[in-house]
């Protein structure tokens, strides 16, 4: 991949360059020392991936990411030395369209370990932005209408990637604390940042938000967020768990893996929601849910920070409805209000 570095610290730039040179797999496109320069350079010479610092003069990494995604979209990986003290900025950057976050390697004894972590992140993003392997979609057909028959354990399953934190906050923030369905979220985020994401979302919603644990049974009133490097799946009609399989999916945790496990194992009513994100993770899983007769929603192009995952879902006809972000929460309230009246 052609990779650009955006960082105002020469030592950090040197460390990242050394890691890239040592990999022999990537080409340095250019280096920018502030966000404004990065926006200009992208307009002139768009790379495959940007390694974006957060705290910089002139224009910080959050606003630079926002402007790049609006003008010349490409993959952005936040690389910061201030991970533990910049939680708010990290989720702002991810809301603006950044795919993931990792620590800045340094030129000291940590270079080998930090460099390996950085290269792993780059390889994962390479799989996301490269050709995606088509996963088999079951042939079974189902109704596309909202079922209002009595079924136990209603659940809302939400998948998101780049731009997801802000989108999730918008959807969850529009639901009341007595929302009658359980909610499970799979957001593409490094497991180191998952606790911070759950805590941040908890402050944006009336519902309680926490990380999903092995053996959890989703219940109304609590939002469970996938929280490890393994895939969150539905193990049986009532219980969630984590699994390393399938190992060849481009992103972990995978939205497809979760949606498809629900289609196989969950015995209640499901509403599947696919929000903003790069790549196509979740599109086939959403199609599987629709084929099983569940209601499915994809975010529209205009309100998506990155119109990748919902675009793939639309191309598969996986969504019963394609909605602007601000209408998704009200639609969920409407669906479950209808169900409560009929039950």
Q: What is the pLDDT of residues 263-275, one digit of tens each?
A: 999 989 999 999 9
* More confident of the two residues 206 and 141: 206
pLDDT > 90 in the chain, percent? 74
Mean pLDDT of 132-149: 39
- The pTM of the full predicted model, rounded to 2 decimals, is 0.85
pLDDT at 341: 52
Find out whether 20 and 50 touch, Cβ atoms under 8 Å: no
The residues facing 76 across adjacent strands are: 50
- Among the listed residues 188, 190, 230, 304, the single catalytic one is 188
Is 248 designated active site? no
Mean pLDDT of 53-66: 96
User: Rounded CA gap, 283 and 98, in Å?
Assistant: 20
Tokens of 272: 């599947």
- Among the listed residues 161, 174, 254, 261, the single catalytic one is 161
The band of 127, judged by pLDDT with boundaries at 50, 70 and 90, is confident
- Tens-digit pLDDT profile for residues 182-193: 999 999 988 888
- Among the listed residues 53, 281, 294, 304, the single catalytic one is 281
Q: How many residues does the chain have?
A: 343
**pLDDT higher than threshold 50 for residue 247:** yes
pLDDT at 138: 38
**pLDDT higher than threshold 60 for residue 99:** yes
Tokens of 110: 């940590």
Find out whether 138 and 165 touch, Cβ atoms under 8 Å: no
Residue with tokens 């601000």: 326
Residue with tokens 């797999």: 25
For residue 32, what are the CA distances in angstroms to 18, 61, 137, 213? 16, 11, 43, 41
Is 188 designated active site? yes
For the ranges 64-78, 96-110, 216-230, the lowest mean pLDDT is seen at: 96-110
User: Rounded CA gap, 145 and 141, in Å?
Assistant: 12
The band of 31, judged by pLDDT with boundaries at 50, 70 and 90, is very high
The neighbour count for residue 57, using CB atoms within 10 Å, is 10
The neighbour count for residue 213, using CB atoms within 10 Å, is 12
pLDDT at 343: 52
**pLDDT higher than threshold 80 for residue 224:** yes
Q: Name, in order, each residue with C-beta under 8 angstroms of 108's C-beta and a sequence gap of 6 or more.
A: none
For the ranges 75-84, 162-171, 201-210, the lowest mean pLDDT is seen at: 75-84
Set out the domains of the chain in order of their start, with CATH numbers: 2-129 (3.40.50.2300), 155-342 (3.40.50.180)
Is 231 designated active site? no
């Amino acid at each position: 991949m052609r990779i650009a570095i955006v960082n105002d610290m020469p030592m950090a730039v040197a460390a990242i360059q050394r890691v890239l040179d040592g990999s022999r797999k990537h080409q340095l496109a250019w280096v920018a020392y502030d966000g404004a320069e990065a926006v200009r350079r992208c307009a002139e010479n768009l790379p495959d991936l940007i390694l974006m610092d957060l705290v910089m003069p002139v224009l910080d990494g959050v606003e630079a990411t926002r402007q790049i995604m609006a003008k010349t979209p490409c993959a952005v990986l936040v690389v910061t030395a201030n991970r533990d003290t910049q939680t708010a900025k990290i989720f702002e950057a991810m809301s603006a369209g950044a795919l993931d976050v990792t620590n800045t390697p340094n030129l000291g004894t940590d270079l080998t370990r930090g460099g390996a972590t950085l290269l792993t992140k780059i390889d994962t993003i390479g799989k996301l932005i490269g050709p995606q392997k088509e996963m088999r979609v079951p042939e079974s057909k189902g109704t596309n209408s909202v079922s209002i028959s009595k079924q136990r354990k209603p659940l809302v399953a939400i998948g998101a990637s780049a731009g997801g934190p802000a989108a999730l906050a918008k959807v969850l923030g529009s639901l009341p604390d007595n929302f009658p369905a359980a909610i499970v979220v799979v957001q593409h985020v490094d497991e180191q940042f998952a606790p911070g994401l759950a805590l941040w979302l908890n402050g944006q919603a009336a519902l309680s938000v926490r990380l999903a644990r092995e053996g959890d049974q989703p219940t109304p009133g609590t939002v469970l967020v996938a929280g490890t490097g393994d895939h969150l799946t539905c193990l049986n009609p009532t219980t969630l768990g984590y699994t390393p399989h399938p190992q060849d999916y481009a992103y972990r945790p995978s939205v497809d893996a979760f949606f498809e496990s629900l289609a196989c194992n969950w015995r209640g009513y499901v509403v599947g929601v696919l929000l903003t994100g790069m790549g196509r993770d979740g599109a086939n899983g959403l199609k599987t849910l629709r084929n099983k007769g569940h209601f499915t929603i994809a975010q529209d192009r205009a309100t998506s920070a990155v119109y990748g995952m919902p675009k793939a879902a639309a191309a598969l006809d996986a969504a019963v409805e394609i909605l602007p972000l601000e209408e998704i929460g009200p639609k969920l309230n409407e669906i479950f209000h209808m169900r409560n009246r009929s039950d």
